[in-house]
Structure 1
Amino acid sequence: MPVPRVSVLMLTFNRPQFISRAIESICAQTFTDWELLVVHDGPNEEIAGIMEGWAAKDARVRYFRRLQPGNIAQANNYGLRQAQGEYVAILDDDDFWRVPDKLERQVRFLDEHPDHVACGGGAVCIDLEGRETLRYLRPEEHTDIVRRALLANPMVHSTTLFRRAAAEQSGFYDESLPGFQDWDLFLKLGRLGRLHNFQEHFLAYQIWEGGGSFKAQRGNTWSAVQIVKRHGPHYRSYPLALAMAWSYYAYARLPLGLRKASFSILSRAKKSLFSPK
């Protein structure tokens, strides 16, 4: 097959009930010059069966099974080393793209703006029944993005398209961090070139207790402290960002029941707080 322009990277571990929905949203894109790399960590045989079916049905789907699980950064970097495309898009296995021309518009934007290294968009949060609970955007222009980038992740990971060469130059995802490796990557990319966020809700983002955001809270909050310290000299609002990072760290160590009861509310509040006004 000819080399695709876009490599879509998807990690999967133990959520077979959602993965076909995510893949179908890729297949529905008006831009068709892509490959999908699904990196499967772990022993779930149902996922293996689903992916073997997809690979047989569509030659653009490439399935990689890693029997020895690693952290998210290791799995992402493994996928990036297999990628052939000039651009890389990300999609989590429990989310899906809700805008059919997402890739087409993002590829056109990066083609026309060589000074930009990545672009993303907004998301609509849904519950397990598919009901909308919140929608949010990130700041649009590079100046506004980097002004707030140390306070919260400036890009929604599963909405992004970035230049593979720039990600390689930045060292890809940091495998030493237990979480928030995407935030660290975008802060590194923001020092190499410009960032952009479309003011459209490209993604349906599922918030639930089985999602990675809830499960990885403790590792994520420790990573937040390290990331803020690491990038503090290069971005604004360092004292406030560090105070916020330590407060997240303390919250993640509260009793499990309290965190479960408050996670969705606080997650929605944070997303709303850091959306452009």
Structure 2
Amino acid sequence: MEKLDLDMQSGNKAPLLSIWMVTYNQELYIEEAIESVMMQKTNFNYKLYIGEDLSNDKTREICIKLKEKYSSRIELFLNEINVGGTQNALRIYKHCFNSGTKYVALLEGDDYWTDPYKLQKQVDFLEANPDYVLSFHKIKILKPNGEFVEDFITKVPENYESQETLARLGNYIHTPSVVFRNIIKEFPPEFSLTPIGDYFMYMLLSEHGKLKYLEEEMAVYREGVGIWSAKTEYFRNLKTAQTHALIVSAMSKFPLTTKILNTRISNFIKRFKNEISPSDLSLLNTCKAVEEEILFTLLRDKATIINNSTIDAYTSKQLIAIVFKRIKKRLWN
């Protein structure tokens, strides 16, 4: 199939694909990220939507310069106040969705694409396979010392295509590798609270079709440059468990997914029982199903710390606080 030169793209025709990019304080990387989009060769129109979240370095200046260079291919949104990663991402997704685009690609401002035919390959697959909702691919990791290495962060499992596997094993999909069908008209309210938006979105998308992994290496992920990388193991696991709890709340009509994610939440509580605080525990209490799982986890094998009359007298939310306090005081120390 012949690939059109980018300069031949019509600025008036609605794009077949939109690229969703958010950026904040990424002056060292943002230009390479944007240029890797602009080098894409396709036989369809695409447009890059950038949300610049009031950086305090030169990120905004670089984005404006490149918007002037590629005026018909970039929509640049300059936030007047810093709204944070999740809200910035939601705003840009709404612009992508409202553009009438059929597909959306993800690329954060500190990663970049390496194959000029990446978008074409992924769209070709999705066009030919309507039962698939998302395509992702192999990536290279760039370490802080400048070394390129094979992906050691994720491992794509067997039977990776299903929602069940994604729920059971967690996120094995790198953000800069993703192209998906633009079918989420509106995110559930829980999405605005999630610490891990990409995984939440993949779970929502997996309601509508299968996931496809391409073995080709077409992007670079920078290790250790994001805020997430600097956090402690407990913090990362807490935010993962919080995301699981929010997904359970949003996807309650999927009992198998609820069961799998509740098990992962329970395992988190048991693993970090000496570190978790009541306020952290409250972050997980997103709905009745998770609430009951938390209470069951706290009571498991320790039923003698609370009697039946106490159980009857309180709501499960109140019981969680009572049981947690007694366990911390009498059994876990």
Scaled by the length of structure 2, the TM-score of the pair is 0.66
Per chain length, whose mean CA-contact separation is higher, i.e. which structure has more relative contact order (CA < 8 Å, sep 6+)? 1
**Percent of aligned pairs with the same residue?**
21
| 1:140 and 1:196 in contact (8 A); partners too | no
Which residue is equivalent to 2:327? Answer: none
- What's the offset of the Cα at 1:134? 3.0
**Residues 240, 105 of structure 1: CA spacing in aligned structure 2 closer, same or farther, 3 A cutoff?**
same
The code of the aligned residue for 2:76 comes to Y
Residue type at the aligned position of 1:90: L
- Residue pairs, 1:1-277, within 5 angstroms: 1-31=12-42, 33-44=45-56, 46-58=58-70, 59-83=72-96, 84=99, 85-135=101-151, 138-139=156-157, 143=161, 146-165=164-183, 167-168=184-185, 171=188, 174-177=191-194, 179-208=195-224, 210-215=225-230, 220-229=236-245, 230-231=247-248, 233-235=255-257, 237-238=260-261, 241-242=264-265, 245-246=268-269
Letter in 1 for 2:46: W
Provide structure 2 residue ranges, at least 5 long, that are not aligned to the other structure: 1-11, 249-253, 277-333
SS in 1 for 2:156: coil
Q: Measure, in 2, the Cα distance between the counterparts of 1:234 and 1:227.
A: 17
RMSD (Å) for aligned C-alpha atoms: 3.0
Runs of 5+ unmatched residues, structure 1: 254-277
Contact 2:162 2:210 in 1 (8 A): no
* Alpha-carbon spacing, 1:249–1:105, altered in 2? closer, same or farther (3 Å): farther
- CA distance in structure 2 between the partners assigned to 1:54 and 1:99 by the alignment: 20
Instruction: Find the residue that maps to 2:216 and give its secondary structure.
Output: strand
Q: Secondary structure at 1:9's aligned position in 2? A: strand
In the superposition, the TM-score normalised over structure 1's length comes to 0.78
Residues 6, 148 of structure 1: alpha-carbon distance in 2 compared, 3 angstrom cutoff: closer
Larger Rg belongs to:
2
Cα distance in 2 for partners of 1:118, 1:148 equals 13
Distance 2:36 2:190 in 1: 25
Cα offset, 1:16, TM superposition: 0.7
Residue 90 of structure 1: CA displacement? 0.6
- 2:39 counterpart letter in structure 1: A
| CA 109–228 in structure 1, closer or farther in 2 if over 3 Å, else same | same
Higher strand proportion, which one?
1
Q: Distance in 2 between matches of 1:157 and 1:214?
A: 15
1:182 partner SS: helix
CA contact (8 A) 2:17 2:45 kept: yes
